[in-house]
């Protein structure tokens, strides 16, 4: 029996048994929220948060990008953006001139293909503006 006939027989058997098989590329199957890269840094009087998410076979995937600073009552949101699963860097910035010393971070929030929510967090920086 040649390979094509074996493959056809295997698919037929799987269909007869009622087994659902999701066929994904190895890259898509391996993609997780942990693959999102996040960074927070200071440039002049600007605090920049940036994120990049690999395509993993689906460039329409997205996460919400939020730049935050620590306050006595918790984390304050300073700006929002969207990061798409296309491998490019996306930025959110805040002019911190005259605001004093604070701790900053960037987070990405979203949901997996299976509907499980996630929060990914960047490095924290403490700077005086």
List Cβ neighbours of 4 (8 Å cut-off, separation of 6 or more).
none
Domains of the chain, earliest start first: 33-128 (2.60.40.2060)
Dihedral in degrees, nearest 10, Cα atoms 94, 41, 70, 78 = 20
How many whole angstroms separate alpha carbon 11 and alpha carbon 18? 11
Whether the per-residue pLDDT at 114 is higher than 50: the answer is yes
**Structure confidence by residue, pLDDT tens digits, 48-97:** 999 998 877 666 678 899 999 999 999 999 999 999 888 899 999 999 99
Name the pLDDT band for 23 (thresholds 50, 70, 90).
very low
How many whole angstroms separate alpha carbon 50 and alpha carbon 58? 20
Whether the per-residue pLDDT at 105 is higher than 80: the answer is yes
Strands 62-71 and 89-95: unpaired
pTM: 0.73
Output the pLDDT for position 34.
Answer: 75
Mean pLDDT of the chain: 79
């Amino acid at each position: 029996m040649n390979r094509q006939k074996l493959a056809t027989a295997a698919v037929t058997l799987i269909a007869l048994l009622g087994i659902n098989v999701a066929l994904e590329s190895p890259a898509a199957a391996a993609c997780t929220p942990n693959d999102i890269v996040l960074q927070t840094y200071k440039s002049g009087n600007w605090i920049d948060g940036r994120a990049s998410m690999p395509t993993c076979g689906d460039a329409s995937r997205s996460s919400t990008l939020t730049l935050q600073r620590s306050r006595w009552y918790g984390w304050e949101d300073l700006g929002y953006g969207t990061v798409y699963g296309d491998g490019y860097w996306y930025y959110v910035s805040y002019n911190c001139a005259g605001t004093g010393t604070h701790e900053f971070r960037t987070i990405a929030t979203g949901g997996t293909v299976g509907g499980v929510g996630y929060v990914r967090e960047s490095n924290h920086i403490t700077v005086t503006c």
